[in-house]
Amino acid sequence: MKGNGTMLEYDWGLWRAAGWTAQFAAAAAGIYVTLRAAFVRPPRWRAAKFHWRRRQAPRWWLALCRADRDGAALQERRVLLAGCGLRWPAAVYLAAKRTAMAGALAVAGIAGTAIGRGWVDGASGWPWVAAGPLAVVPMVADRLLLNAFRRYRAERIRGEIVAVSRGLLYFTGSRLHLHGKLLRCLSYARLIRGDLQLLLNEWYQDPDASLRRFQERLGTEEASGFAEALRTLRLHEDEEVYNMLRGLVDEYKNRIHLARESRRETASYGLFVLAGIPVLYMFHVFLYPWVREAQMMFDTLQT
């Protein structure tokens, strides 16, 4: 009994230490972010930095996780990460995911073995056993989660590109330079405002390279079409190009309308299912006893 009490006190002390450590780390991170946002002013004319990671991931780690081969899983993650606006190497992401899955399952297995052999009390060990599979579930479904976020982000980017394109069409026939037109349309964007600001900052260094980096940062089909339209406007700013931009806007508006109708149809199906729940409840409460009684009477008459 005394040994069990000592073990419980040790587990409780360990949990308290872990909780205080996590709270201290979260508070320190919050204070740092608040002070940085309050006192550190980002440069107005900043340029894009793509080489944010100087050190490469170890080759043995990628090979151990089988993320060094350019297979279907790696190509799919590369497309999904680009569509979500995450400039992470696909091989590093895939290796980190598989390492985290193996670590979570290993922790659950070690905790289960410790409980089975009596090293750890079941009340304090079972949360670790359950936490492993629960942590693995979102990692297994990462493709679905990334794809859903990619569709959501693509819809928002599509709407903002339509707004910016309308602003450009307003300046049709104006002698203002394309850079100045985009600068005046900057207020129409929210999600892509930072990327569009980077495009304008890098415009006079190399317009083609800045448009290519803008297209890579957004990583959607709509951004590619918009970048090609801007490249054509920069080279030949005439009525035909503006007509092409109008056609692009109409196409994106049709896609937005179709996506909105699809969401409404999905919501209507969900409401239809929810509306059937009270009907089933009414059948269970009011009609089922009568049906049950009639069945019993019919059985009695047959006997």
Supply the DSSP string of 215-272, one letter for each residue.
Answer: HHHH-SHHHHHHHHHHHHHHH--SHHHHHHHHHHHHHHHHHHHHHHHHHHHHHHHHHH
Considering the domain architecture, whether residues 161 and 247 belong to the same structural domain is answered as yes
Q: What is the pTM of this model?
A: 0.66
Considering the domain architecture, whether residues 128 and 224 belong to the same structural domain is answered as no
Considering the domain architecture, whether residues 131 and 207 belong to the same structural domain is answered as no
Q: What's the number of domains the chain is made of?
A: 2
End of a domain among 113, 140, 167?
Answer: 140
Q: Select from 216, 200, 201, 220 the least CA-distant residue to 157.
A: 220
The verdict on residue 76 lying in a domain is: yes
Considering the domain architecture, whether residues 161 and 229 belong to the same structural domain is answered as yes
The verdict on residue 176 lying in a domain is: yes
**CB distance 201 to 217 below 8 Å:** no
Question: Tokens representing 104?
Answer: 């979570």
Considering the domain architecture, whether residues 71 and 125 belong to the same structural domain is answered as yes
Range of the domain at 163: 151-257
Rounded Cα distance between 90 and 69, Å, is 11
The verdict on residue 43 lying in a domain is: no
Q: Select from 177, 185, 186, 163 the least CA-distant residue to 234.
A: 177
Considering the domain architecture, whether residues 128 and 157 belong to the same structural domain is answered as no
From first to last of its 303 residues, what are the pLDDT tens digits of the chain?
Answer: 444 555 556 566 666 777 777 787 888 888 888 877 766 555 555 555 444 445 677 787 777 777 777 777 788 888 888 888 888 888 888 888 888 888 888 887 887 787 777 776 666 667 777 777 788 888 888 888 888 888 888 888 988 899 998 888 888 877 888 888 888 888 888 888 888 888 888 888 888 888 988 988 888 888 888 888 888 888 887 788 888 888 888 888 888 888 878 777 777 777 777 776 776 666 666 666 666 666 777 667 666
Considering the domain architecture, whether residues 194 and 233 belong to the same structural domain is answered as yes
End of a domain among 74, 107, 140?
Answer: 140
Asked whether the CA dihedral 66, 69, 73, 77 is positive or negative, the reply is positive
DSSP state of 34: H
The verdict on residue 105 lying in a domain is: yes
End of a domain among 140, 164, 193?
Answer: 140
